[in-house]
Amino acid sequence: MPEKRTHYRTCNLCEAMCGIVITLDGDQITAIRGDKDDPFSQGHICPKATALQDIHADPDRLRHPVRRTATSWQRISWDDAFSEVVRQIQRIQSECGRNAVAVYQGNPNVHNTGAMLYGAPFIRALRTRNRFSATSVDQLPHHLAALTMFGHQLFIPVPDIDRTDYLLMLGANPLVSNGSLMTAAGVDRRLKAIQARGGKIVVIDPRCTETAQKADAHHFIRPGSDVLFLLALLHVIFAEDWVTPARLETVVKGLESVRHIVAPFAPAVVADVTGISAETIHQIAADFVTAPTAVFYGRMGVSTQQFGSLCHWLINVLNIVTGNFDEPGGAMFPLPAIDIVGLQAMMGSFGNFDRYRSRVRELPAFGGELPVAALAEEITTPGGGQIKLLITNAGNPVLSTSNGAQLDSALATLDFMVSIDIYINETTRHADIILPPTTGLETEHYDLVFHNFAVRNSAKFSPALFEPDEDTRHDWQILRELRDRLEGFEPGSKPHSADIFRRFKPRQLLDLGLRFGPYGSRGGRQRGDGLTLFKLRQQPHGVDLGPLQPVLPQRLFTKDRMIDLAPGLFLEDVDRAARLLETQHSADAFDLRLIGRRQLRSNNSWMHNSARLVKGKNRCTLLINPVDARARALQNGDLAVVTSRIGSVTIEVEISADMMPGVVSVPHGWGHGRTGSRLRIANERPGVSVNDLTDETLIDTLSGNAALNGVPVHVTAFRPKASSEVVNA
């Protein structure tokens, strides 16, 4: 009889870190459900977790290296694959220079223990400045604000939603994202608890989102005008003399500079442009400062716009000057068991900004990475430093970055391309060699990143559920082997004592991190009494390490150990924001503004190859307000043509009063069905890519982050071509 067993782990498909229970009959999964004994998630689960088994068993998933041929793909050995990849990297760098090789890291890397531990040493071995990642289509403004204000790019505050009395959210939809840069498993329960204890939730968004529908109040805001709303809130707080940094007053500098910079932005001045009345702005400011505790949280809608960095700076300022920073119920800093911020700071690594710029458009590098909005032009523009070889790791930038069609065309011109990926998707179909790692249930897991953004401190280690197939490789093994070959490290040689990434395997590195962390024997606890990997493995549901605690000023990483409220680059950029007051809403051909949206069953594009995640009605639709639909003679279910500066898509119409007039929305991650991709289920329901509309020239000029929201578009009813038009086309 097959053995029945139970496996506990953390779902790694999004940021929420939900504990799950997997029951098996032999090697067959019979159920995946939420783990009620997980101290962090307490039984919460979303539909994505049940698809872990789909990914594991997907017949489209690659399990061995393949080489592209003239007509198909050919399986090759690992040794041949590694040899060819390294030979091509060395050849191209020898002929064209180090920067002729580029690397792009996709979002799934941050959900992957092996990739997080061994990715950086591999990338350093490439010796190239052309490094890109999904960071610059997501959260780069958060990092810039954290680096300049608090001294470390990963020292990002999160809302203490479990103890707050007033949660103000801008461009965030945690009921769908499960929290984002706010790891909050069971966020529905946590939000209801705010209201149950008499608190209030207010959402500002161009769409009445799933979160907004359950909030106490929702206010529409015109895309791209968020910065003016924030400046007006601060104007009220300073004008009414409501500034109270409280305990942090002695470690805050730049207060008067902020007072001066917000003075011109009275609520009445910004009301017409934002779409929020002066009275409403004043009332929100008053409610925020009079609540016993309050916190302002902004996310994707704030980050991915032309003023993303200014917005995140101002959100931090607002939390600080109202005394809602590093205090229970306000914006706080987690203290994770593996403290990557503290470990990096101990090694002298804090992040860096603008040390060099991209070759073509001179966009600034951040943390050793260039904005991905520059990737296509760096491939197609001739001259010294032109990218000739690209390595992608767990990424699909053709669907996930701005002007994906341009990048799609650029990839076809590369001399050589390598992908570390489990799928032949819209991007990796251009690769010459694909190196597929093990995935999900075959790997051990510890959330190195998201414990650093969790609303409660905890720790959990997940062992592998299944043994990998014969002749497969974990991602860390792939990355380490490529690094060894690039650096000429001979198998069997003794690594340098300081090279922990050659000396140790992932479990050993995790154990070191725990021992040197704040709860480990080397990190402050009595020797023998601290947290170790061995002890953590004895707790299959994870361990609770308590609520967030104040950590300032001890944990400030600025040189003077002060919070800088007024970094010069932000003050100078306010003039750019002020020009919004002069332009008003566009009256040109592009009369609508496009925003994205996230869906609960769709985090990354590869999830669309799970039948259970894409079943049901079409979810890749154009949301449009009834007034805008009538003006274009559109009805539910019609096809519409959406056009931006860079292209057009034809998409099904979904009319909804949840959309602000003048704003339309297309979800991200779709756009399958391209020739050469091998995602059978996804290709049956391709949808359209919103990034065939987003414009690579629209960026947050401070950070270089892509502005995926607020894109000017034009919408018309789809008119099928007459037969004569088809003949003449």
Q: pLDDT over 70 for what percent of the chain? A: 97
pLDDT one-digit tens code per residue, 327-379: 999 999 999 999 999 988 888 888 899 999 999 999 999 999 999 999 999 99
Would you say residue 727 has pLDDT above 90?
no
Q: Quick one: pLDDT band at residue 729, thresholds 50, 70, 90? A: very low
Report the pLDDT value the prediction gives residue 728, as an integer from 0 to 100. 34
Report the pLDDT value the prediction gives residue 350, as an integer from 0 to 100. 84
Q: What is the rounded CA–CA span in Å between residue 140 and residue 134?
A: 9
Would you say residue 721 has pLDDT above 60?
yes
CB 424 within 8 A of CB 452: no
Report the pLDDT value the prediction gives residue 315, as an integer from 0 to 100. 98
Report the pLDDT value the prediction gives residue 722, as an integer from 0 to 100. 60
Fold that domain 149-335+555-576 belongs to in CATH: Dimethylsulfoxide Reductase; domain 2 (3.40.228)
Q: What is the rounded CA–CA span in Å between residue 325 and residue 160?
A: 10
CB 349 within 8 A of CB 368: no
CB 420 within 8 A of CB 394: yes
CB 296 within 8 A of CB 229: no
Q: Give 416's Cβ-side CA count (13 Å radius).
A: 17
Would you say residue 720 has pLDDT above 90?
no
Would you say residue 528 has pLDDT above 70?
no
pLDDT one-digit tens code per residue, 114-147: 999 999 999 999 999 999 999 999 999 999 999 9
Among the listed residues 341, 685, 357, the one whose alpha carbon sits nearest the alpha carbon of residue 516 = 341
Query: Given CA atoms 256, 274, 583, 693 in this order, what sign does their dihedral have?
Result: positive
pLDDT average, residue stretch 514-537: 84
- Tallying the residues shown for the chain, one arrives at 729
Least trusted range by pLDDT, from 77-86, 416-425, 575-584 = 575-584
Report the pLDDT value the prediction gives residue 521, as an integer from 0 to 100. 83
Q: Quick one: pLDDT band at residue 321, thresholds 50, 70, 90? A: very high
CB 297 within 8 A of CB 194: no
Would you say residue 533 has pLDDT above 60?
yes
Q: How many Cβ atoms from other residues are within 10 Å of residue 143's Cβ?
A: 26
pLDDT average, residue stretch 615-629: 96
Report the pLDDT value the prediction gives residue 726, as an integer from 0 to 100. 40
Report the pLDDT value the prediction gives residue 1, as an integer from 0 to 100. 60
Q: How many Cβ atoms from other residues are within 10 Å of residue 73's Cβ?
A: 18
Domain boundaries along the sequence of the chain: 1-45, 149-335+555-576, 586-728
Q: What is the rounded CA–CA span in Å between residue 271 and residue 717?
A: 32
User: Which DSSP helix (H) or strand (E) runs through 713?
Assistant: strand 711-717
Report the pLDDT value the prediction gives residue 50, as an integer from 0 to 100. 85
Would you say residue 107 has pLDDT above 80?
yes
CB 243 within 8 A of CB 318: no
pLDDT one-digit tens code per residue, 226-261: 999 999 999 999 999 999 999 999 999 999 999 999
Q: Quick one: pLDDT band at residue 724, thresholds 50, 70, 90? A: very low
pLDDT average, residue stretch 517-524: 82
pLDDT average, residue stretch 556-579: 96
Fold that domain 586-728 belongs to in CATH: Barwin-like endoglucanases (2.40.40)
pLDDT one-digit tens code per residue, 5-42: 999 999 999 999 999 999 999 989 999 999 999 999 99
Fold that domain 1-45 belongs to in CATH: N-terminal domain of TfIIb (2.20.25)
Q: Quick one: pLDDT band at residue 593, thresholds 50, 70, 90? A: very high
Report the pLDDT value the prediction gives residue 348, as an integer from 0 to 100. 81
Q: Quick one: pLDDT band at residue 407, thresholds 50, 70, 90? A: very high
| 3-state DSSP assignment of residue 690 | helix
Q: What is the rounded CA–CA span in Å between residue 523 and residue 340?
A: 13
Report the pLDDT value the prediction gives residue 349, as an integer from 0 to 100. 82
pLDDT one-digit tens code per residue, 285-314: 999 999 999 999 999 999 999 999 999 999
Model pTM score: 0.96
